[in-house]
């Protein structure tokens, strides 16, 4: 009877059929928030399991809901020990709800900073998890396109907790190895040069980003931190001349440096693949040094965090200025003359990869069906 009443209410409220699943979740604290919505810790009532629910406002998608449907279509088929698992999903008339396993161990650098000792061997154990997850994605013709330390989180706070790859919001399924993607996407500082130069890209962009992560994990700073001006940054990224500052890289094996150089080749065709990375002597652990890297990693990471906070403040001021100028321009728009709109890529463009959504006519995943067995995650048999 209660189920029938709920169904009638959902129908009157014009809610999608899957909205009924929301009743099984108790929403708790906000774990994080962004442009599209927020992530909340929640409890799955039937068995008390704690989960993370990504709540996405449909109004933030600018009418292109395939952004979310493509993410669902990708992550629901992923089954790897180092990739955060999608457990369930449903929608309301104004939001999408993606239910993921809850990871409570913190981000990559946060956990490293809490250690009492950190060597190349320790770094290899963590980075191997990252390269294994990327190799799995590439084997299934999936490119993540937003590899960065913030998207690597530990499953729990135990000392040997596995490192998990998360956030597939701008990942794409490639129809073939030869397909060329064209979106300006990724995160500044980790995006490959072919993305920034709009030359088209593929799986190799994940290797570049992972190379930056590997470099930063060993020393605490980015390989291109000195280059603030876009032109000099691009020249540095294309030079194939990675600088290893002796103040922080003394005692680190030459094999580690070779591994990073092969990950950061400017020509994507010369970059090693994820499968090749897993076979590299350094990632097998045979050539690692035993020097404690933690003091330098913490020092440089804290300095970088301070710089990032300053940069974010400057970006906020610039956005306000741009909005003010735009508003002023609109008030004087009576004349047909005017400057051409800015076509330069913004951080928002890079993170969302929106332009590609209109270029690719991919078939979205089928809508959620509330019928038993529709996605294997119905009440009573839901097994995260």
3-state helix, strand, coil in the chain (%, to 5): 40, 15, 45
Using CA atoms of 339, 343, 347, 353 in order, give the dihedral in degrees to the nearest 10: 140
Tell me the DSSP string of 261-295.
Answer: HHHT-SSTTTSPPHHHHHHSTTTTTSS------HH
Specify the 3-state DSSP secondary structure of 300. helix
- Number of C-beta neighbours around residue 188 at 10 A: 15
Tell me if 58 is assigned to a ligand binding site: yes
Which of the residues are catalytic? 146
Please state, in angstroms and rounded to a whole number, the distance separating the CA atoms of residues 361 and 357: 8
Comparing C-alpha atoms, which of 50, 91, 84 is closest to residue 152?
84
Cα separation, 119 vs 368, in Å, equals 46
Determine phi and psi for 323, rounding to 5 degrees: -65, -40
Residues of each annotated binding site:
58
Residues of each annotated binding site for ATP:
58
């Amino acid at each position: 009877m209660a189920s029938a009443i709920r169904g009638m209410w959902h129908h009157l409220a014009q809610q999608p059929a899957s909205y009924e699943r929301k009743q099984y979740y108790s929403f708790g604290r906000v774990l994080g928030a962004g442009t599209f919505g927020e992530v909340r810790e929640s409890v799955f009532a039937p068995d008390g399991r704690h989960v993370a629910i990504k709540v996405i406002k449909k109004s933030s998608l600018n009418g292109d809901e395939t952004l979310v449907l493509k993410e669902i279509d990708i992550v629901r088929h992923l089954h790897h020990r180092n990739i955060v698992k999608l457990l369930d999903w449903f929608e309301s008339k104004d939001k999408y709800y993606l239910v993921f396993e809850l990871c409570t161990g913190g981000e990559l650098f946060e956990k490293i900073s809490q250690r009492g000792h950190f060597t190349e061997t320790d770094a290899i154990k963590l980075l191997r998890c990252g390269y294994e997850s990327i190799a799995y994605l590439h084997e299934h013709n999936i490119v993540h396109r937003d590899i960065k330390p913030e998207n690597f989180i530990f499953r729990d706070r135990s000392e040997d907790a596995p490192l998990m790859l998360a956030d597939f919001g701008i990942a794409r399924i490639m129809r073939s190895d030869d397909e060329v993607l064209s979106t300006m996407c990724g995160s500044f500082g980790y995006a490959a040069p072919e993305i920034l130069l709009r030359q088209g890209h593929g799986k190799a962009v994940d290797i570049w980003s992972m190379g930056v992560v590997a470099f930063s994990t060993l020393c605490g700073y980015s390989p291109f931190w000195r280059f603030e001006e876009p032109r000099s940054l691009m020249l540095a990224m294309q030079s194939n001349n990675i600088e290893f500052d002796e103040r922080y890289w003394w005692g680190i094996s030459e094999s580690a440096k070779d591994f990073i150089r092969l990950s950061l080749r400017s020509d994507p065709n010369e970059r090693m693949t994820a499968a090749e990375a897993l076979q590299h002597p350094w990632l097998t652990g045979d050539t690692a040094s035993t020097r404690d890297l933690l003091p330098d990693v913490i020092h440089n990471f804290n300095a970088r965090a301070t710089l990032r906070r300053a940069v974010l403040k400057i970006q906020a001021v610039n956005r306000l200025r741009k909005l003010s100028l735009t508003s002023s321009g609109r008030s004087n728009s009576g004349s047909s003359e005017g400057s051409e709109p800015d076509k330069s890529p913004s951080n928002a463009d890079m993170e969302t990869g929106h332009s590609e959504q209109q270029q690719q006519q991919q078939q979205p995943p089928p809508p959620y069906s509330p019928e038993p067995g529709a996605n294997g995650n119905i009440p009573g048999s839901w097994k995260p």
